[in-house]
Amino acid sequence: MNATELSRRLGQQAEAVCRRYLSNGCREGRYWLVGNVDNAPGRSLYVRLVDGEKGPAGKWTDAATGDHGDLLDIIGHSVRAAGMREALSEARRFLSLPEAPAPAPRSRPLGLSCISSGQRDAALRLWSGSHPTAVTLAQAYLQSRGLEAGADLTALRFHPGCHYRPSRDDPSDTPTRWPALIAAVTDNAGAITGVHRTWLDPSGKDKAPVAHPRKTMGAILGHAVRFGVPTDRMIIGEGIETMLSLRACLPAMPLAACTSSAHLAAFLFPAGVNRLYVARDRDKAGEAAFAAIAERCATPGIEVMPLMPILGDFNDDLRQCSREAMAANLARQLGNGDEALLSKA
């Protein structure tokens, strides 16, 4: 039985699969709602439980990240499968089917970002149509968050009228065009694979008043919004604002924003990195992401060290604590020699 048939059978038992692998969610009508693929509480990710005009049972979408797939992807991620063979084996165990000696290859690789080339092209067009952040609402927004928005932040741009597709959580009269901060998501070779969009309020002082003001587009899994060139050490974390906050204290340290806890756990480490700092938020999703990264780094021999904020996240620290207090907190957590990288300003 190949992957396509296994996926179809999983769809026939979609609610049972969700109760097993997305147990922190709940059924609401024709959908199973949960926070994300890491089984966090919430309502961002929704799994279709019955066949319908919009697609078969078992298909899912994460409204916050744009990721989508089927239940075989969910199972593979849940058991941290190293490849399709392990995911297929776990699916057969769930369905009480005999193990196959040599499963047929799937038409696409295992992963959470089932993104067509058309979506990648759309991401590149959006990036090409955006402008430097200087003297824009994007710069004003970053400054309102206590962040510097200099010309050296080449991974960030501004779009004055980025399309927003209202969700079922938005009012019916929600505008479909908003100014937006656009961030380039790149692979380890520096190629743009997607973009991250933060829609902004026209005042420039906050995010746009929409249900989902942050979304990604393109191939995101394993990649990141990068600030600086990786050396033998770097810091990775979830959000752009978190990483830019750390940049205020560690301007010479290479940084990578993976855009979500699920993508943080799946980040593809650049060659040559032997000390990896993980900037954690103080929540269960951050804890789970760090545990997944630490497990993955055990084999390649990369030293993994967590960085914990004083408050909820590092942007909270930057805005609500003094920079001196933030630097002192980081100094206690950095490895030997790295405290010298802390800014004296």
> Whole-prediction pTM value?
0.69
Q: E strands of the chain, at which residues? A: 26-28, 31-34, 45-48, 60-62, 68-69, 156-163, 177-186, 192-199, 214-218, 225-227, 233-237, 255-257, 275-279, 303-307
Q: pLDDT tens digits for 1-28?
A: 677 888 889 999 999 999 999 999 999 8
Q: pLDDT tens digits for 195-243?
A: 999 999 999 999 999 999 999 888 887 899 999 988 899 999 999 999 9
Ranges of residues in the chain whose predicted pLDDT is under 70:
1, 81-83, 99-118, 299, 344-345
Cβ pair 17, 10 in contact under 8 A: yes
- What is the residue type of 168? R
Side-chain half-sphere CA neighbours of 324 within 13 A: 0
Helix, coil or strand: residue 42: coil
- What is the residue type of 38? D
Phi and psi angles of residue 293, each rounded to the nearest 5 degrees, phi first: -65, -45
